[in-house]
Amino acid sequence: MEQFTINLLFVGASFALYIGIAIWARAGSTSEFYAAGRGVHPVTNGMATAADWMSAASFISMAGLIAFTGYDNSSFLMGWTGGYVLLALLLAPYLRKFGKFTVSEFIGDRFYSPTARMVAVICLIVASTTYVIGQMTGVGVAFGRFLEISNTAGLLIGACVVFAYAVLGGMKGVTYTQVAQYVVLIMAYTIPAVFISLQLTGTPIPALGLFSETTSTGAEGSVYLLTKLDQIVTDLGFASYTEAHKDNLNMVLFTLSLMIGTAGLPHVIMRFFTVPKVSDARWSAGWALVFIALLYLTAPAVGAMARLNITNLMWPNGTSGEPVSVQTIETAPEYDWMLTWQKTGLLDWEDKNGDGLIQYYNDGSEAMAERAAANGWEGNELTNFNRDILVLANPEIANLPGWVIGLVAAGGLAAALSTAAGLLLAISSAVSHDLLKGQLTPNMSEKAELMSARIAMAIAIAVATILGLNPPGFAAQTVALAFGLAAASIFPALMMGIFSKRINNVGAVSGMLAGLIFTLVYIFLHKGWLFIAGTNSFPDTVDGSLFGIQSTAIGAIGALINFGVAYGVSMMTKDTPQEIKDLVESVRIPAGAGGAVDH
């Protein structure tokens, strides 16, 4: 059977499964739709949260970024898991006790101000739209490969599918669909990793394989996988895999931004509003992280092993031997993946010096200049290797059976589509429910509310698709910007709302605006206004940046500004009224938590 047919079968079967479950367990009413998590066991809720949370950034993009950078990108691993500690300790139980359905409702009530609610909605829309751009990048890669078309065409088709998926909407709220998506996603991620770990190290658990010895024995006997990887990448002039090359300040701030952002993203927080009890909200966060950790503990192994496999394929006779020839790439079956990925425009090579061989090395390295000159090399000939293709191409690179490749295609699409659809729903409900009905046109009919929700969704996806054609970075990097925005705006307001009785309406609004505007402007100064390439004032590098801090790491500073401004302004203005102090008291104590109520 053709690989294309196998992919189609797997993707089709997985979608049939989700739709089947959605119909079987259909939510009957709006409140049922919102409260899909209620009455559901914390373990099940944790699994659904994990599916909601792990998107194209985690599934498609992250391991590729780790593979080509090594230790420096550990920030993604620590940041996107460490945020759950903040969520479980600082937010989840109290927001559950508060007992409403949306983040902006909490902010509006706690800070007794419709303006605060409105500002929270704007923060939410900005962060979620940026997040969707990252998802669309991933969707484009997945559809491009799966339909064997260009990345751009894949992105456009993907946008239509995401829109249809999000408009069907209801299936998003069904916890069991998400459980099914989680199962598909985690199998698709771990099964190829197990195969590859067995091939390279003989260990069936990839997380352990990463720190094991390789099965291929060299002249000096067996060596550790990471030792070998360090050696071959440095042989080719690349930075070593396990050492740190980034300055500590940026790495700490980047990790912190991702952590705080995790605890500030509305679509994740919302899941904890609807568990049956406050104590369940605490457990749910733990179970969600268990299911997330299954992927996150595997991801660094996927990255390192893929890097090793790719380098070995480019240098089949060792890094000091003769590299792979153009003819081999075009004819040998183990290089077929290069030809298929070339069609997407995300992978390319060019025999610059015309010797019939493809030299893959770091042509920016001074140490390699000598060897290149001696051998007549004229630059790196593996001219394009998009980081976002690594996970999807991984089973093909490792020459795994066709069904594994089909499974990975289904998993990647599940990750990207479920999160993109969830975010679009969050954006559309923020616009129609919080902004229009809550503020601007309170008398609008339910039909008009639904229509405006759909229009908001269509606009959001159109914006995300246009910006996704020239994304500000690889999927996970774009998503990291969204986390920075959430970190700088939403999280501080939520935390201060619970842990301080003194922060008042004016303080919270000034804090959120200061954090959001500072972070957004800083990102635009480096990534271009509205992410339009060429409109940036500073180069997007550590050295060239305004404060020596990368745009992806600035969210942590934005959060500090938010805390500082909110505190300062609150101290200078009127104290909070007694009923707000009572509200904070009641939120802090689990007793008396009823079911979540709609208003």
Partner 1 sequence: MAEQTKAAKADRDGAGYWAANVRIILVSLVIWALVSFGFGILLRPMLSGIAVGGTDLGFWFAQQGSILVFLALIFFYAWRMNKLDREYGVEED
Binding residues (CB under 8 A) for partner 1: these are: 71, 74, 77-78, 81-82, 84-85, 88-90, 93, 207, 210-213, 223-228, 230, 242, 244, 248, 251-252, 255-256, 259, 277-279, 282-283, 285-286, 289-290, 293, 296-297, 300, 499, 585, 588-593
Q: 403, exposed or middle or buried, with CB in 10 Å at 0-12, 13-18, 19+?
A: middle
Min. distance of Cβ 281 from partner 1 in angstroms?
Answer: 9
Min. distance of Cβ 454 from partner 1 in angstroms?
Answer: 38
Distance of CA 177 to the CA centre of its chain: 20
Shorter beta-carbon distance to partner 1: residue 46 or 138: 46
d(CA 473, CA 200): 31
Phi/psi region, residue 54 (left: phi>0; alpha: psi -120 to 50; beta: rest), is beta
d(CA 434, CA 432): 6
Contact residues for 328 (Cβ-Cβ < 8 A; gap 6+):
335
152, 405, 552 from 258: Cα distances, Å: 29, 30, 9
Min. distance of Cβ 363 from partner 1 in angstroms?
Answer: 27
Q: Give the amino acid at 425.
A: L
- H or E segment and range at residue 384: strand 384-385
Min. distance of Cβ 88 from partner 1 in angstroms?
Answer: 5
Min. distance of Cβ 137 from partner 1 in angstroms?
Answer: 24
Q: Give the amino acid at 192.
A: P
DSSP characters over 74-119? HHHHHHHHHHHHHIIIIIHHHHHHHT-S-HHHHHHHHTT-HHHHHH
Shorter beta-carbon distance to partner 1: residue 77 or 559: 77
Q: Give the amino acid at 85.
A: V
d(CA 495, CA 239): 40
- H or E segment and range at residue 274: none
Count how many residues are written for the chain: 599
d(CA 65, CA 134): 14
141, 333, 413 from 400: Cα distances, Å: 20, 12, 19
Min. distance of Cβ 597 from partner 1 in angstroms?
Answer: 16
Shorter beta-carbon distance to partner 1: residue 141 or 251: 251
d(CA 362, CA 11): 37
d(CA 278, CA 564): 30
Side-chain-side CA neighbours of residue 293 (13 Å): 11
Shorter beta-carbon distance to partner 1: residue 22 or 226: 226
Min. distance of Cβ 63 from partner 1 in angstroms?
Answer: 11
Min. distance of Cβ 213 from partner 1 in angstroms?
Answer: 8
Shorter beta-carbon distance to partner 1: residue 260 or 421: 260
Shorter beta-carbon distance to partner 1: residue 207 or 404: 207
Shorter beta-carbon distance to partner 1: residue 255 or 536: 255
Shorter beta-carbon distance to partner 1: residue 151 or 255: 255
Shorter beta-carbon distance to partner 1: residue 267 or 282: 282
Shorter beta-carbon distance to partner 1: residue 468 or 497: 497
Min. distance of Cβ 183 from partner 1 in angstroms?
Answer: 20
Min. distance of Cβ 81 from partner 1 in angstroms?
Answer: 5
Query: Positive or negative, the Cα torsion across 169, 175, 176, 182?
Result: positive
Shorter beta-carbon distance to partner 1: residue 219 or 572: 219
Min. distance of Cβ 335 from partner 1 in angstroms?
Answer: 28
Shorter beta-carbon distance to partner 1: residue 196 or 593: 593
d(CA 268, CA 176): 17
Min. distance of Cβ 581 from partner 1 in angstroms?
Answer: 12
Cα-Cα-Cα-Cα dihedral of 261, 262, 267, 270, to 10°?
A: -110
Measuring CA to CA, which residue among 358, 370, 303 is closest to residue 63? 303
